[in-house]
Structure 1
Amino acid sequence: MRVARNVLIVLVVLFGLFVAADRITVSIAQNKAAQQAQTTQGLSSKPHVSIEGFPFLTQVLSGKLDHVKVSAQGLAASSDGQQVRFESLHADLHGVKLSNGFRSAVADRADGQVFLTYADLQKAINIPGLTVSYGGPAAGGGARVRLSGPMLGSQLSVVSTLSADGGHSVALHADKVPTAFSALGLENQLRHQIDVTLPIAHLPEGLGLTSVAAAQDGITVTADGHHVVLAN
C-alpha cells in the first residue's frame, strides 16, 4: 500500500509538472504568435492570441494546432497610406499547420468578424463634411448607411448599401441619388465620390469578406476562408 501510495504521489507530481510546463510553453507561444501576427498583418498593436486545447505540447509535436482564437480592440491597418481603424476583431482558426521553425502558420479554415463604428467608416471614406450614420434595416439582411453633408453645392442625404465582395473590400453604393443632384445632371459626378470601394487592409491571404450587417452602433463584416495564411 505504501509503495502504491508513493507511486501515486509521484505520478500526481509529474502530472502537475507537465501541466505547468505545458501552460508556460503555451503562454510563450501565444505571445510569439501575437507578435508575428502584428508584424505580418501590419497592425498598429499586438492582438490577443489564445491557443485552445490541452495538452499544447502534443499539438506542437504533431505540427498542427486544433483551434486558435485571435482578438483585438482598436486596431488600425494601413494600406497605401490610408489607415482604416477597427473597433474590434475576432477570428477562429482551425487546423493551424506549423512549419519553418514555427515561423509559418496556415489554417485549414478560418472565420471571423471585424466591427467598425460609423466614425471608423466615415474616416475611411474621407470626404470633408460628410457624416456617416445608421441607414435603417435592409431588406433581406445586408447593411444600409446614411451619408449626409454638403456635396457639390447642395445638401446631401442619401441611403447607401454596404456590401462585401468576397475578397478584401467592401463596396458602398447609393440606393438612389436625390433629385436635387440628378435634375442638374450631377448623378455621375456625385456617385464618383460617394460610391466607393474600401479595402480592409492586411487580411490574411485566403480569408475573404462574405457579408455585412449594420446596427445602431456600427457595422459588422464577416469573413471566412480555407487555407488561410497567418504567417510566413
Structure 2
Amino acid sequence: MRALRTVLILAVVLGGLLVGADRVAAAFAETEAAEGVRIGTVRAESTDVDIKGFPFLTQVADKNLDEVEIRLTGVQARAGGRPVRIGELTAALRDVTLDADYGIDRAGSADGTARIAYPDLAAASGRDAQVAYGGDGKLKVTGGVRILGRTLTRSVLSTVTLVDGDTIRVRADEVPGEGIPGLEKMVRSRTDFDRRIEGLPKGMRLTKVEAREDGLVVTVTGENVTLKAS
C-alpha cells in the first residue's frame, strides 16, 4: 500500500508538472500570437489572444488548435474607401490551422462582434453630419443645409441595415420638408449614406448590425476563414 501511495503521489506531481508546462507553453504562444495575429488587412492598437483547449502542446504538434479567442482594440479599417476606427473587435476562432511558422493561418469557423463609436461612424460617413444614438435601435443623424443664404440644421431618426453582407446602410425614416422644395433631398444628402466595410478576412461576412447606446455593434461570422492577408 505504501508503494502504491508513493506511485500515486509521483503521478500527481508529474501530472502537475506536465500541466504546468503545458500552460506555460500556452501562455507563451498567446503572447507571440498577439504580436503577429492579423484579421484580414486591418491593424489594431492592441491584441489579446486566449488559446482554449487542453493539452496545448498536443494541439501544436498537430498544428491545429480547437479554439482561439481574440480581442483587438483600436482597429484601423476602411469603409467605402475612407478610414474607420473600430473601438473593439472580438472573435472566436474554431478549428484553427497553424502555418509552417506556427502562426495562425486559417479557421474552420469564426464569429464575433465589432463596436464602432458614433463619432467614428460619423467620420467614416463622408458627410458633414453628427451621429448619435436615437433610442429604440435607431440612429440620430444631424446635418445642416444652406437655404437662401442661411443654414438649416435638421436631425432625423435613421434606420441602419446591412446590404450584401459587407455594407452598412443608414437611411432617414422621415425628413420634414416644411414645404420647401428640394429640402428633403438636400437633408438626405447629409444624413443618408452607405459604407462598405473593407479588409475583412476571406470567408467572413457581416450578418447583423444594431444601434446601441454605446455604439454601433456589428456581428460577423464565417467559414473556412483565411486569417492572413494575401
> TM-score, normalized by length of structure 1?
0.83
Q: How does 1:152-191 map to 2 (within 5 A)?
A: 152=146, 153-180=151-178, 183-185=180-182, 187-188=184-185, 190-191=187-188
Q: Which residue of 2 aligns with 1:7?
A: 7
User: Structure 1 residues 167 and 202, CA, compared in 2 at 3 Å: closer, same or farther?
Assistant: same
SS in structure 1 at match of 2:135: coil
Q: Secondary structure at the match of 1:135?
A: strand
Q: In the aligned structure 2, how far is the partner of 1:42 from the partner of 1:223?
A: 14
Deviates more, 1:185-194 or 1:7-16: 185-194
Q: Partner residue of 1:214?
A: 211
Residues 118, 80 of structure 1: alpha-carbon distance in 2 compared, 3 angstrom cutoff: closer
Structure 1 residue aligned with 2:114: 114
TM-fit CA distance, 1:162: 1.1
For 1:80 and 1:156, how far apart are their aligned partners in 2?
A: 25
Displacement of 1:145: 0.8
1:53 CA displacement: 1.4
> Is the contact between residue 94 and residue 109 of structure 2 (CA under 8 Å) also seen in structure 1?
yes
Of stretches 105-114 and 82-91 in structure 1, the one that deviates more from structure 2 is: 82-91
Q: Deviation at 1:75?
A: 3.0
More deviation, 78-87/22-31: 78-87
Out of 141, 146, 152, the position equivalent to 2:140 is 146
Structure (1/2) with the larger strand percentage: 2
Question: Following TM superposition, by how much is the alpha carbon of 1:38 offset from its aligned partner in structure 2, in angstroms?
Answer: 4.4
Q: Can you give the 5+ residue segments of structure 2 that lack an aligned partner in the other structure?
A: none
1:37 equivalent to 2:37? Answer yes
Where does 1:10-25 land on structure 2 (aligned, <5 Å)? 10-25=10-25
**Residues 216, 42 of structure 1: alpha-carbon distance in 2 compared, 3 angstrom cutoff:** closer
1:221-232 mapped onto 2 (5 Å cutoff) = 221-231=218-228
Distance between the aligned counterparts of 1:149 and 1:40, measured in 2?
34
Which residue pairs with 1:66 in the alignment? 66
Contact 1:108 1:227 in 2 (8 A): yes
Q: Tell whether 2:125 aligns with 1:131.
A: no
State the 1:194 CA deviation: 3.2
Gap change, CA 1:179 and 1:188, over 3 Å in 2: closer
Using the aligned pairs only, state the percent identity: 37
Paired residues of 1:168 and 1:199 also in contact (CA < 8 A): yes
RMSD: 2.6
Q: Which amino acid aligns with 1:144?
A: K
Gap change, CA 1:166 and 1:4, over 3 Å in 2:
farther
- Per-residue deviation, 1:52: 0.9
Could you tell me how far apart the structure 2 residues matched to 1:163 and 1:100 are?
A: 40
Distance of 2:139 and 2:220 partners within structure 1:
20
Look up the match of 2:201: 204
Shift of 1:97: 2.0
Most deviating of 45-54 and 149-158: 149-158
Q: What residue ranges of structure 1 are gaps of 5+ in the alignment?
A: 138-142
Give the residue type in structure 2 aligned to 1:146: K
Question: Structure 2 CA distance, aligned partners of 1:204 and 1:175?
Answer: 33
Give distance in 2, aligned partners of 1:40 and 1:221.
16
Aligned residues: 225
Whether the 8 Å contact between 2:79 and 2:124 is mirrored in structure 1 is: no
Select the residue among 189, 192, 198 that pairs with 1:195.
Answer: 192
Partners of 1:28 and 1:160 in 2: CA distance: 47
Does the residue aligned with 1:4 lie in a helix, a strand or coil? helix
For the 8 Å contact 1:36–1:231, the answer to whether it is kept is no
Q: Give the SS at the match of 2:115.
A: strand
Q: Distance in 2 between matches of 1:24 and 1:202?
A: 33
Partner letter of residue 217 of structure 2? T
Q: Is the 8 A contact 1:166 1:210 kept in 2?
A: no
Instruction: With the length of structure 2 as denominator, give the TM-score of the two structures.
Output: 0.84
